[in-house]
Amino acid sequence: MAYAGPRPPPRPEGLAPDAQIQVDEAADAQASALAQAVGEAPEAPPVRATVADALASLMAGAPDPLANATASAVPTARRPDSRPRNFDRVVAQTRSRVATAAPAARAPASAPQAVSGATVAPDGPVPGSVASAATLDGAINLRDINLIGVYGKPGARRALVRLDNGRYLRVGIGDTLDGGQVSAIGDDVLNYVKRGRTLVLQIPD
């Protein structure tokens, strides 16, 4: 009984090697065998170029990369120093110092600071002319709050204020003063708001 199942497709044409190629390969084999028989050295295979040779040939015609370099340019970068053996300990110590300093940095820099109001007297005699030149009668009313001085950069000014009880305070913008809050500090003036009113203190002329 004949097979009725699927059959493979016909063999494509051109799969068989070309007769001329077979003839050439056979001739080459015979020539090589004859050369070995008569003692001739076989032809050496062509030398293949290495990667370094290929890169050198490519760079031979390339422009010099350092032709327009500045005086600070170097042909070879300096090798970095080796990592210290105690590097982990140094990092841990640095992090510990930063963590310790963080609470102090977060503290408000403009907190009011009390200043000693002790009177400083000269340790020697003062001539009358010097005392009179350094004294300005009636410049401030000691029963009131007075602005004594202003210091600091324009964006972070602080002021020295004398209270009516003789105490001195260093204040900044936002600090509490006489039951109010400092709102502005100029070159020679301080404003603070108390019960909705803006009060002005000025350095005596």
Span of 72-81, 96-105, 154-163 with lowest mean pLDDT = 96-105
Q: pLDDT > 70: what percent of the chain?
A: 64
Q: Does pLDDT of 102 surpass 70?
A: no
What pLDDT is stored for residue 75 in this prediction? Answer: 72
In this predicted structure, the answer to whether residue 189 has a pLDDT above a threshold of 70 is yes
Is 64 inside any structural domain?
A: no
For the chain, percent of residues with pLDDT exceeding 90 = 20
- Position 106 confidence tier, pLDDT thresholds 50, 70, 90: low
Q: Is residue 160 part of a domain?
A: yes
What's the whole-number average pLDDT of the chain? 76
Cα–Cα distance for residue pair 189/161, rounded to 1 Å: 11
**Within-domain flag for 165:** yes
Question: Would residue 44 count as lying in a domain?
Answer: no
Q: Examine residue 200 and state whether it is found in any structural domain, yes or no.
A: yes
Q: pLDDT band at 180, cuts 50/70/90?
A: very high
More confident: 130 or 25: 25
158 is in which domain, residue-wise? 109-117+141-205
Q: Is residue 205 part of a domain?
A: yes
Q: Is residue 2 part of a domain?
A: no
Residue 175, pLDDT > 80, answer yes
- The CATH number that applies at residue 153 is 2.30.30.830
- pLDDT of 192 reads 94
Mean pLDDT calculated for residue range 55-61? 72
Tally the domains of the chain. 1
Q: Check pLDDT > 80 for residue 92.
A: yes
What pLDDT is stored for residue 44 in this prediction?
57
pLDDT, residue 84, reads 74
Read off the pLDDT of residues 8-53 as tens digits, 9 standing for 90 and up: 887 777 666 666 566 667 777 777 776 666 655 555 555 556 767 7
Does 51 map to a domain?
no
